Amino acid sequence: MMLAWQTLEYLEFAFARQALIAALCIATAASALSGIVVLKRLAFVGQGISHAAFGGIGVVAILGLSAAAGELVIFAFCLASALAIAGLTRSRTEEDTAIGIVLVATMALGFLLLGLRQSLAAPGGWEWYRSYISGSPRPDGWEAILFGSVHTAGQTGMWLSIAVMVIVLLTVWWFRRPLMAFVFDEVAAQASGVRTRAIRILLMVLLALVVVVGMKLVGVVLISAMLILPGAIAGQFTRRLLAHLAVTWVSAVLGVLGGLVLSFEFDLPTGPCIVLVLIAIFSLGAGWQLLLKTAARLIGR
Amino acid sequence: MSSPDSDSAATTAATATRGRAVTVRDVSFRYDSGVTALESISLNVPHGSRLGILGPNGGGKSTLLKLILGLIRPTRGRVEVLGLPPRLATRSRRVGYLPQRLHAAWNAPLNVRQVVAMTAALDVAPWRALPPEVQGRIDDLLDLVGMAHLARRPIGELSGGQQQRAFIARALVSRPRLLLLDEPTVGIDQAGQAQFARLLETIHRELDLTILIVSHDLRAIAAGCDDIAVLSRTLHYHASPEGLTPEVLAEVFHHDIAAFAHLRHGGQGHENHDEGGDGDRPATGNGEDRAP
């Protein structure tokens, strides 16, 4: 109780309210894709896409771009890596290998450019970056990129999150029928005239959008958790469509709300807090499954 | 399960005048990897007939199916489906396709009805609901395949035979003139297979369509086909099931074992999904195979 009370005090501040709204939008957008990511085994793809952000950040650093241009460059990097993964997978490379290659390539590029920037302009080489994340004096750059922070959303971040949520929800709704066929059986979908390549690319674009806006809150390392865990949790509880969508959304929202409270109260990085809450829900689901199985065995006997 | 001779002879005579469901004229197909999957195949499937294409794994069955569905183009030769280029025939929904069951994501949160409606729903504008006429057709088909009482059940909780019947209903929703079945008996037990054969018999009788079954399993084909073709890169045999001698089978399958070994070493494994494996696999096992 005391914890929640302190969080309410935090919400007097604009940055906290903005972070809250941004978090709810990201949770909603991510949950709309989460079921697809889990069923279509795209979990690791999210990881590859988010780490590509490092490459983008490196380019932003070396060119000294503004925040808005920076967003675009980072989005372009995430999208390009998503498409590169899809392209490589179509030829002779296995998907996990393709993701591994793209992930390390973009990260290496990012670190290289950041290092170059630092040696060119140190000290004060991080100024560009501070303005990029929020203008707030804390937390320090690396930690925020890696693990996310409530301080990095800001008003722009909030509006971007709202926009991405609207785009993702509308697109998924509009293409729900081909998406459903694609997820259930790609070969059969193709035989029914679904343009599976176009659908795959569309999914990559949506994933890149969610990753780019979600990254600042949850961090590069853990954003894919937002895409994996809600769908995985729903899979434990139900095999009915509406219930599945509901459980996915509720668990994503609980995850970000719980994570934000923990982050506010104990001044911890936001990403790990959100992920821990989601993992806790997932464990509950696993426990529930175990309980059901045990009960079934007892009754069956 | 095979129909009386007089019956099938009458069907053939009646349908001969109506042209052909599938025409394959001197078709060869070579994959980018250089592996030749099909060589100089010619095949005529009259309207209303039931043809089984039997062949070992890696014998080019899936390639032939993809050609008929218009998913790939032949390296040489021509394919016509219902008098149209294959792609057009498929797009116009006049071809019903029963894919291999093992490819599907059985963990998907969909019930039987949603799966059956899936293909028909693709033709409905995004802002519209499924029209009542289509809904009615789905109900009729669920009755026909004996799945009406399971319509609200999650598809992943059904047995292999029940899933197969749901898939048949899905393939029939858009009232196709040609039904293509890809390895329909894989993972289905004996009782399920017998039931499936009876269902195909009913469908053929009531809906007046052409049925083409592709399988490596002789039982799948012997059960419900008037004609049989044996495919192993080239077309080896084309006659009624009664005329298929053990010698022909032995020759073809032996021939293919060598061919398959060659594929394994030199090829890209494009036929890998043919190796779905047979035997009685419970549905939940398939689902768990796909779990992350």
Looking at chain A, which residue has its C-alpha nearest residue B119?
A192
Chain A within 8 Å of B154 (Cβ-Cβ)? yes
Q: Do A241 and B109 touch (CB under 8 A)?
A: yes
| CATH pick for A2-295 out of 1.10.287.1080, 1.10.3470.10, 3.40.1390.10, 3.40.30.10 | 1.10.3470.10
pLDDT of residue B138: 94
SS3 annotation, B105-174: CCCCCCEHHHHHHHHHHCCCCCCCCCCHHHHHHHHHHHHHCCCHHHCCCEHHHCCHHHHHHHHHHHHHCC
Q: How far apart are CA B252 and CA B231, in angstroms?
A: 8
State yes or no: pLDDT of A134 exceeds 90.
Answer: no
Of the listed ranges A15-29, A141-155, A287-301, B228-242, the least confidently predicted one is A141-155
CA A293 to centroid of chain Cα atoms: 32
pLDDT > 90: percent of chain A: 30
* Six token digits for residue A155: 């008003």
Looking at chain B, which residue has its C-alpha nearest residue A40?
B105
Mean pLDDT (whole number) for A61-79: 79
pLDDT digits (tens, 9 = 90+) for A202-261: 998 899 899 888 887 888 778 888 999 999 999 988 889 999 999 999 999 999 999 988
| Spans in chain B with pLDDT lower than 70 | 1-18, 222-223, 236-292
Interface of B with A in 187-216 (CB under 8 A): none
CA dihedral B21, B52, B106, B189 (to 10 degrees): 150
Q: How far apart are CA A105 and CA A100, in angstroms?
A: 8
Chain A within 8 Å of B260 (Cβ-Cβ)? no
Residue numbers in B near A181 (CB within 8 A) = 118-119, 122
Closest CA to A49 of A234, A233, A169, A214: A214
Quote the CATH superfamily of domain B5-101+175-290: P-loop containing nucleotide triphosphate hydrolases (3.40.50.300)
pLDDT of residue B240: 60
State yes or no: pLDDT of A172 exceeds 90.
Answer: yes
Closest CA to B185 of B288, B4, B52: B52
Looking at chain B, which residue has its C-alpha nearest residue A188?
B99
pLDDT digits (tens, 9 = 90+) for B148-204: 999 999 998 988 888 989 999 999 998 899 999 988 888 788 888 888 888 888 888
Domain boundaries, chain B: 5-101+175-290
Chain B within 8 Å of A55 (Cβ-Cβ)? no
Nearest to B99 among A174, A188, A238 (CB): A188
CA A187 to centroid of chain Cα atoms: 28
Closest CA to A242 of B107, B111, B129: B111
pLDDT > 70: percent of chain A: 85
Chain A within 8 Å of B157 (Cβ-Cβ)? yes
Domain boundaries, chain A: 2-295
Question: Amino acid identity of A129?
Answer: Y
